[in-house]
Structure formats: C-alpha cells, structure tokens
Amino acid sequence: MTIKHLLSINDLNGSEISSIITRAISSKPMPYNNLLENETVGIWFEKPSLRTRLSFEIGVKQLGGTTIYLDKDNIGVGSREPIRDVANVISRYIYAFIARTFAHSTLTEFAKYSTIPIINALSDEEHPCQTLADLVTIQEKFGTLKNITIAYIGDGNNVARSLACGAYQIGMPFISSSPEEYKLTIDNEKINQSIIHEINPKKAMSAADVIYTDAWTSMGQEAESEIRKKAFQKYQISVEDLNSAKDNAILMHPLPAHHGEEISQDLLYHKKSVVFDQAENRLHAQRAAMEYLFK
C-alpha cells in the first residue's frame, strides 16, 4: 500500500480536499470511527502550539488511538541523531508521525526515510491542516465554497501559502494584500499566477467574503519583529474595516492573534469573527484528514 503523507496542501487535489471537508462536517457528532484502535501516533514539535497539538491529541483519541509526545530536546533530531536514523526507528514503533518544524526540508526528509505517514503540523513553508479547517469553516458559514472570495491581508507566510494553494485546488478566488517585500510567492507557476495581488488592503477587503489575516511575525522570525511592525502598519484590520466589509463577510485568523498588530484590540470578538469556530474545526478537519490518509 502506498503511504499517504500530508506535507503540503498540494498533496491533496480538489476532490480529495472536498471529501475531507464533507467528512469533517458530517462526522462532527459522535461516535467516531475506531480506525486507530491499538495504534500509537507520535507527535514531535520544534515550535510551540496550543491548537494543533491539542486537536491532534484529541483527534487521535477520538479515533481510538493513543498519542505519544516526543520532546524535541530529548530526541535531538539532527543533533543527537540524523533524521534518517530517527525516521527508521520511529517507523518500527508508531503508526504515524505528526511534526511541526522550522525547515520544511525536515518534513520531506522524514517522509523520504519513513515507512509511516508524516503529517505537517506547520513548517516555515506551509500549514496544510490549518487550511483544511479554514475551508471547513468557510463551507459551514456560506453553505458553499463556490465563488467565495478570500482576501488575505498581511504577511505572505506559511498559512497564506497553504490557503492560497487550497483555494486554487478548490477554484476559489484568492486576493493577497501585502507590502511588496512580504508578498506571497508559490513554488508553482500556475498557482502563483492565480493569486490576485492588491497592495491596498482596504480595496482587497471590500471585495472579500472572507477577510483573513495572520501574525506579522511568525515563529522563528522574532528578531525581525520591530521591522515587521513598521512594514505592516497599514495592514492592520480594524473595526471600521469589518463594519464596512460586505454584510455577510467573515473574519478569519488561525490564532494565536497579536492584538494591536495584525488586528485591532478585541477584533476577535466582533460579530463578523468566526475564529473560534475555525479553531474548533481544526479537530474535525484533522480527524477527517487522518481517516483519509490512514485508510
């Protein structure tokens, strides 16, 4: 049987993404599939996490399995032992490996040498599990993904990249609004060209059904924080922006949010914000993704 990894959202095509979304929504009520009975899933994070770790720990449990958290300092991937050796060892013990990394190449190396599925729980390049939850949330809020325009405001980062690729796979218009030096680029010319760049965030938001933003300074970029705050000043989303957006527009954010940076204070609690439904959907989307990857 071929192993299915989820390193990039582009590992899934549009119809696979759609069936994961449908399954995530329909499988919200218990009881859940018991496909991980007697199985253990490893979780190894190089960066902090609240949502991703919690939703995977719970999701695996709901599918009848157990998780084991591998502490990064003890495992010493790449320092105590090379990735290849670690990948070979974990393949003998666990059913799947969920990893959050700095370098995306750490994930591709794991996938190269493992005989078990590897899931990207965020890397510097991509956050595919976030995108699945985002699309579940959009589908629930609008009842469709067809002709729903996403305006991503801010840094052209990992979250933006996966979301733009997911939108492309589904055929949703995607507007990206960033300062020139932080513009979103995709390593796939077709997808790259599908992105509508709009330097003016107000214009981008006025055309949007989904107003989406994320941290200006991602994990690992802390040394650039002050420079970034200056560069992104005009890209903060305010109450006025949401009030003047389309009536049924929604605000999305993967969280953690930086109040007073990419969003104004308390914006998560605005009536157009769906961020906590979005956070909950991490669980349902990942459970559905695991059912797909592990079957």
Least distance to ligand NVA, CB of residue 278, Å: 12
**DSSP codes joined into one string, 134-160:** HHHHHHHHHS--TTPPEEEES---HHH
The closest residue (CB) to ligand CP is 52
Q: Which is nearer to ligand CP, 5 or 51 (CB)?
A: 51
Residues that bind ligand NVA (CB under 6 A): 122, 157-159, 214-215, 218-219, 254
CA of 185: how far to CAs of 9, 68, 173, 269, in Å?
15, 35, 16, 31
- Plot region of 260 (φ>0 → left; ψ -120 to 50 → alpha; else → beta): left
Q: Which does 215 bind (CB under 5 to 8 A by kind): ligand CP, ligand NVA, none?
A: ligand NVA
Q: Which is nearer to ligand NVA, 59 or 254 (CB)?
A: 254
Q: What 3-state class would DSSP assign to 65?
A: coil
Q: Which does 50 bind (CB under 5 to 8 A by kind): ligand NVA, ligand CP, none?
A: ligand CP
Least distance to ligand NVA, CB of residue 229, Å: 15
Instruction: Give CA–CA dist 214/56, Å, rounded.
Output: 21
Q: What 3-state class would DSSP assign to 213?
A: strand
Instruction: Give CA–CA dist 66/14, Å, rounded.
Output: 30
Least distance to ligand NVA, CB of residue 215, Å: 5
CA of 244: how far to CAs of 20, 174, 197, 238, 240, in Å?
33, 20, 21, 10, 6
Instruction: Give CA–CA dist 91/113, Å, rounded.
Output: 9
Least distance to ligand CP, CB of residue 62, Å: 18
Residues that bind ligand CP (CB under 6 A): 49-52, 122, 130, 254-256
Cα–Cα nearest to 275, from 201, 211, 199: 211
Q: Which is nearer to ligand CP, 52 or 177 (CB)?
A: 52
Q: Which is nearer to ligand CP, 99 or 198 (CB)?
A: 99
Least distance to ligand CP, CB of residue 214, Å: 9
Q: Which is nearer to ligand CP, 198 or 262 (CB)?
A: 262
Q: Which does 218 bind (CB under 5 to 8 A by kind): ligand NVA, ligand CP, none?
A: ligand NVA
Q: Which does 158 bind (CB under 5 to 8 A by kind): ligand CP, ligand NVA, none?
A: ligand NVA
Least distance to ligand NVA, CB of residue 163, Å: 11
Give residue for tokens 């949010």: 257
Q: Which is nearer to ligand NVA, 90 or 135 (CB)?
A: 135
